[in-house]
């Protein structure tokens, strides 16, 4: 059974309170919140004020994914806004270990995201310090893209690294997850499924979340 983290980037921003209410009543485990700065990725999404409002509307875990440059400048502010889990990109962190220490010192679970072209073995020296590795299965910045098939091998490689070292690090997959491929992604070793368009563009989001959660 996978954890499901619907990505609010694909939701109707005019109805965020209704969206949060629906997710509260669903089988969703986390709310995935994508923050983009227009520099690290070619898009701008939402930031601290929106996350602070979402926090007031849900008791579920707020899983904040920072697709931004210099994430260390904002970690404390995201904690104050209500983030439970904070994920930074390997490619955006000049001093990754320091970033991880900072996130944990603030009382949040620490995640590291990898772009499609970044090998998982680059995390070898910090894997024991990470709560979650987020593997991007599309190029970051926009929703609605197709799942990159090579991601399956990355998941298997990372799962082997985690198993061989006796760690409990979660593997989170973000991008192109559908009802058709979710079971294969979980079978490869994924623990958390981030789904945006698949959930929010479906006729019955709650039923879709339930199906994703029991992908096996």
Taken as a whole, the chain contains a residue count of 216
> Do 142 and 100 form a contact (C-beta atoms < 8 A)?
no
Read off the tokens for 161. Answer: 């690294």
34 is annotated as an active-site residue: yes
CA distance linking residue 182 with residue 193, whole number of Å: 8
Give strand pairing partners of 133.
112, 171
| Residue 198 CB neighbours (<10 A) | 26
Pick from 78, 73, 120: which is nearest to 92 by CA?
73
Catalytic residue, chosen from 29, 37, 63, 174, is: 174
- By DSSP bridging, strand 109-114 and strand 30-36 are unpaired
Catalytic residue, chosen from 34, 63, 131, 191, is: 34
**Angle subtended by helix axes 16-24 and 48-57, to nearest 10:** 40
191 is annotated as an active-site residue: no
CA distance linking residue 134 with residue 165, whole number of Å: 18
Residues annotated as catalytic are 34, 174
């Amino acid at each position: 059974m996978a954890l499901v983290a619907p990505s609010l980037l694909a939701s109707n921003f005019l109805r965020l309170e209704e969206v949060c209410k629906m997710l509260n009543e669903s089988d969703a485990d986390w709310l995935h919140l994508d923050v983009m700065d227009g520099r690290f990725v070619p898009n701008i999404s939402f930031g601290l004020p929106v996350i602070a409002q979402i926090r007031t509307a849900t008791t579920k875990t707020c899983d904040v994914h920072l697709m931004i440059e210099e994430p260390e400048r904002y970690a404390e502010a995201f904690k104050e806004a209500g983030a439970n889990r904070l994920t930074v990109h390997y490619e955006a962190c000049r001093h990754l270990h320091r970033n991880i220490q900072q996130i944990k010192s603030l009382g949040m679970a620490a995640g590291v995201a990898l772009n499609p072209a970044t090998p998982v073995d680059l995390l070898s020296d910090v894997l024991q310090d990470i709560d979650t590795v987020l593997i991007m299965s599309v190029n970051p910045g926009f929703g609605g893209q197709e799942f990159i098939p090579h991601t399956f091998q990355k998941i298997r490689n990372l799962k082997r690294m985690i198993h061989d070292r006796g760690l409990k690090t979660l593997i989170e997959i973000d991008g192109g997850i559908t009802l058709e491929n979710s079971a294969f992604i979980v079978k490869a070793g994924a623990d958390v499924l981030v789904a945006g368009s698949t959930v929010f563009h479906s006729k019955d989001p709650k039923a879709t979340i339930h199906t994703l959660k029991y992908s096996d």
